[in-house]
Amino acid sequence: MTLENKKVVLGITGGIAAYKCPEIVRRLKDLNCDVRVVMTSGAKEFITPLTLQAVSGNPVSDSLLDPAAEASMGHIELAKWADLVVIAPATADVIAKINAGMANDLLTTICLATDAPIAIVPAMNQQMYAAKTTQRNLTSLRNIGMHIWGPASGEQACGDIGKGRLLEPMQIVELIQAHFTPKSLDLNILITAGPTREAIDPVRYISNHSSGKMGFAIAQAAQQIGANVTLISGPVSLATPHNTKRLDVVSASDMHEQAMAQAPSHDIFIACAAVADYRPSNVSDQKIKKNDDDMTVTMIKNPDILADVSALTANRPFCVGFAAETQDVETYARGKLTRKKLDMIAANNVSIAGQGFNSDDNALTLYWKQGKLDLPLADKQELAKQLVVEIIKHYNHAQ
Ligand code: C5P
């Protein structure tokens, strides 16, 4: 796995193992990781900032009160920039300071100012590591959610043998990779998204304003929490979310065929597509000429994909529908929940400007037989995350 677009702050403190840090940075750079190094004054006794600047390709930050450094990337900015803060080597001293919540240098300040995960990679004399205070500090940091990686055992720089060696650079890099690898969830999720197009003749069709953004955001959110995602998409101009199996379709009939074929091998079906309810009963082989003043297109009903998946008797997935309504949202949404025999329905009021169709934001209310939950206005990515979490919670409950 590459670490492209991942931003890591590497904090180096004053221990002999600091000499291994250029290797850590080089390996991270090999994986296209964006690394910024922060050094304590103790670290600079063991290795020069120049070395780390050269290998990281970025200026090294080492002072909290340096106007030049603050002007290029201030300490709060750096804290916000990070996707992950790794402190390697982490001395007993810095571990104690972080645990005490101190912020008297740049690195400890960043630890307080960041909301990114923090990984501590201890390295110290084995007796200092075994000391009750160090152990108490590490336990307390672990309890507040910090990662503690290592230490390794073996011969130490001081001649002692025991636990306290810094993990090898490659091991640290692998732990960083593992940290960014999405957790695998043993769950297959099928999603329909976008509009469908119903041909009138070879050049004309009937469709709707669906952009597909909500369905694609749901696919991305589901993928990010580790689900296997299949996305059946009508014609949209959106990039396929990472690690998602995308099946492109045009008409409601195509979408129906794909959904019926895929549904039995999936645990959850989320029907987000704005499927055309009707299609022209006859599709002309040739372009229809405008000879008459008026024209009639006779339409027939499309299959209801969601209702048909929900009616499966074998291997039926947990079924979630959407209801875009302009009035009496709860009544209509609950009506669909019952009529299509759904497990859950996500309703939105599309008459409100700035949410729903073709917008970046949305607000939803989830309804199920015994309850409901409001998911307030948020951008579609954020809303999709909340929605997926709620769906999985209900799916697990139903098992
Ligand atoms: O009945 P209505 O179209 O309002 O229902 C909306 C829900 O049903 C959505 O989840 C939509 O994706 C799904 N649907 C479908 N096939 C249709 C019509 C709607 O899957 N032909």
Average pLDDT over the chain reads 93
In a shared domain, residues 150 and 258: no
Q: For residue 332, which atom of ligand 1 is closest to its CA?
A: 4
Q: β-strands 198-201, 244-248: how paired? A: unpaired
Burial 300-337 (b: 16+ CB within 10 A, else e): eebebbbbebbeeeeeebbbbbbbbbeeebeebbbebb
Q: Is 115 exposed, middle or buried (0-12, 13-18, 19+ CB in 10 A)?
A: exposed
Q: Is residue 312 part of a domain?
A: yes
Q: Is residue 54 part of a domain?
A: yes
* Model confidence at 67: pLDDT above 80: no
Number of domains into which the chain is organized: 2
Q: Is residue 226 part of a domain?
A: yes
Q: How confident is the model at residue 81 (pLDDT cuts 50, 70, 90)?
A: very high
Which of 197, 272, 305 has the most ligand 1 atoms within 8 A of CB, as the residue to mutate? Answer: 305
Report whether residue 305 contacts ligand 1, using a CB cutoff of 6 Å.
yes
> Can you give the residue range of the structural domain that contains 29?
7-180
Residue 321 Cα, ligand 1 centroid: separation in angstroms? 7
* Model confidence at 315: pLDDT above 80: yes
Which is nearest to 239 in space by CA: 274, 193, 199, 273?
Answer: 193
- Establish whether 158 is a catalytic residue: yes
In a shared domain, residues 166 and 237: no
- Cβ-proximal residues to 234 (8 Å cutoff; 6+ apart), any chain: 192, 193, 194, 195, 196, 197, 210, 212, 249, 250, 255, 273, 274
The CATH number that applies at residue 38 is: 3.40.50.1950
Residue 395 Cα, ligand 1 centroid: separation in angstroms? 20
Boundary-marking domain end, from 152, 180, 208: 180
Residue 3 CA to chain centroid, in angstroms? Answer: 15
Residue 118 Cα, ligand 1 centroid: separation in angstroms? 44
In a shared domain, residues 373 and 283: yes
| In the block, residue with structure tokens 């060696």 | 165
* Model confidence at 58: pLDDT above 90: yes
The predicted structure's pLDDT at residue 392: 93
Identify whether the C-beta of residue 107 lies closer than 8 Å to the C-beta of residue 38. yes
Among 65-74, 167-176, 306-315, which is the least confidently predicted range?
65-74
In a shared domain, residues 329 and 351: yes
In a shared domain, residues 157 and 274: no
By alpha-carbon position, which residue is closest to atom 9 of ligand 1? Answer: 322
Residue 306 Cα, ligand 1 centroid: separation in angstroms? 6
Helices and strands counted in the chain (H then E): 14, 19
Residue 307 Cα, ligand 1 centroid: separation in angstroms? 8
Mean pLDDT of all residues in 99-120: 96
The CATH number that applies at residue 247 is: 3.40.50.10300
Q: What is the pLDDT of residues 269-282, one digit of tens each?
A: 999 999 999 999 99
The predicted structure's pLDDT at residue 354: 67
In the structure encoding, which two tokens stand for residue 28, read together?
């991270």
Q: Is residue 382 part of a domain?
A: yes
* Model confidence at 385: pLDDT above 90: no
Q: β-strands 204-206, 268-271: how paired? A: unpaired
What is the C-alpha to C-alpha distance for residues 383 and 233, in angstroms, rounded to an integer?
Answer: 20
What is the C-alpha to C-alpha distance for residues 236 and 213, in angstroms, rounded to an integer?
Answer: 9
Q: Is residue 1 part of a domain?
A: no
Q: What is the pLDDT of residues 188-229, one digit of tens each?
A: 999 999 999 999 999 999 999 899 999 999 999 998 888 999
Report whether residue 151 contacts ligand 1, using a CB cutoff of 6 Å.
no
Extended beta strands in 5-146, E state: 7-12, 34-39, 84-90, 118-122
In a shared domain, residues 44 and 146: yes
Q: Could you give the 3-state DSSP secondary structure of residue 105? A: coil
By alpha-carbon position, which residue is closest to atom 1 of ligand 1? Answer: 336
Q: Is 57 exposed, middle or buried (0-12, 13-18, 19+ CB in 10 A)?
A: exposed
| In the block, residue with structure tokens 């890099």 | 173
Q: Is residue 359 part of a domain?
A: yes
In a shared domain, residues 23 and 141: yes
Extended beta strands in 40-117, E state: 84-90
Catalytic residue among 21, 33, 158, 319: 158
At position 330, the amino acid (one-letter code) is: E
Which of 197, 306, 364 has the most ligand 1 atoms within 8 A of CB, as the residue to mutate? Answer: 306
Q: Is residue 223 part of a domain?
A: yes
By alpha-carbon position, which residue is closest to atom 5 of ligand 1? Answer: 323
In the structure encoding, which two tokens stand for residue 69, read together?
């450094």
Which is nearest to 274 in space by CA: 363, 196, 359?
Answer: 196
Q: For residue 252, which atom of ligand 1 is closest to its CA?
A: 21
In a shared domain, residues 230 and 365: yes
In a shared domain, residues 158 and 192: no
In a shared domain, residues 137 and 275: no
Boundary-marking domain end, from 118, 150, 180: 180
Percent of the chain scoring above 70 in pLDDT: 97
Q: Could you give the 3-state DSSP secondary structure of residue 192? A: strand
Residue 396 Cα, ligand 1 centroid: separation in angstroms? 24
Report whether residue 223 contacts ligand 1, using a CB cutoff of 6 Å.
no
Report whether residue 37 contacts ligand 1, using a CB cutoff of 6 Å.
no
Q: Is residue 69 part of a domain?
A: yes
Boundary-marking domain end, from 134, 162, 180: 180
Q: Which residues on neighbouring strands pair with residue 299, listed in sequence order? A: 280
Q: Tell me the CB-side half-sphere exposure of residue 309, using CA atoms within 13 A.
A: 29
Mean pLDDT of all residues in 57-75: 81
In a shared domain, residues 215 and 164: no
In the structure encoding, which two tokens stand for residue 182, read together?
């999405």
In a shared domain, residues 49 and 25: yes
Report whether residue 390 contacts ligand 1, using a CB cutoff of 6 Å.
no
